[in-house]
Amino acid sequence: MHDKDLARQLRSLRCCHLPAEQKPQHAKPRDSGAYVPEMAARIEDDPNLTDGARRCARKLAEYIYCRNRETRSAEITVTYLMRALRRDRRSVQRYLRQLEHAGYISVEVIHAATRMCAGLLVELLAPLFARHHRRQWPQKLIKKDAARKSQNHRLRIKYSRESWALRCMDGVFRALMKTRPPLPAIV
């Protein structure tokens, strides 16, 4: 080997074969309790959809499941989808076109008197759903007359055994003091 080749080899090893730098991690999203309802595996296997369109379909299913599960349609804006998917407007519009062209959703524009477009009315179509949920999603487990806020998760205060015993004895002490007059003051 010549000196020139050796120098080139050493330079290559010094510069080109370094380990990749780790990308900075974003903060983990907070747990909102929302979830994506059951959907057909067909959407995952469809070669005509991009990964972004599949993700958009899942986000639409989540949104509509929470908002209006009876009609399987909801008013939504492209701006909301942009923020939810963290994509630009044209990408979201492309995802919606792909899903509509493949027959998974139908999209109608909502017109308002003051603006050209006030949003979109997106309806989820049958191919998006698992066969056993094609007619309707399962009903909500809550009763319509029930209070919105659960009493099971109200603020709970924890006491030690000793402080709980003192707290319980307060009532006995107050009752005892009512039956016995206080001692006279010493002058």
Give the C-alpha distances (Å, rounded to integers) separating 145 from 68, 148, 149, 153: 18, 9, 12, 19
Here the CATH number for the domain that contains residue 44 is 1.10.10.10
Q: Residue 67 falls within a domain, yes or no? A: yes
pLDDT, greater one: 77 or 144: 77
Q: Residue 90 falls within a domain, yes or no? A: yes
Contacts of 67 (CB under 8 A, 6+ apart): 74
Q: Residue 28 falls within a domain, yes or no? A: no
Distance CA 134, CA 137 (A): 8
Q: Residue 11 falls within a domain, yes or no? A: no
pTM more than 0.85 = no
Q: Residue 7 falls within a domain, yes or no? A: no
The pLDDT value recorded for residue 7 is: 85
Domain count, the chain: 1
Residue type, 56: C
Sorting pLDDT into bands at 50, 70 and 90, what band is 53?
very high
The pLDDT value recorded for residue 178 is: 80
Distance CA 185, CA 11 (A): 97
Cβ-contact 100, 124 below 8 angstroms? no
**5-33 pLDDT tens trace:** 888 888 777 776 666 677 788 788 787 77
90 lies in which domain range?
Answer: 33-133
Distance CA 52, CA 90 (A): 12
Gyration radius of the chain over CA positions: 32
Q: How far is CA 131 from the centre of its chain?
A: 25
Q: Which two tokens stand for residue 74?
A: 């909801």
The pLDDT value recorded for residue 153 is: 46
Which strand ranges, in their side-by-side order, compose the sheet holding 119-124? 73-76, 119-124, 105-110
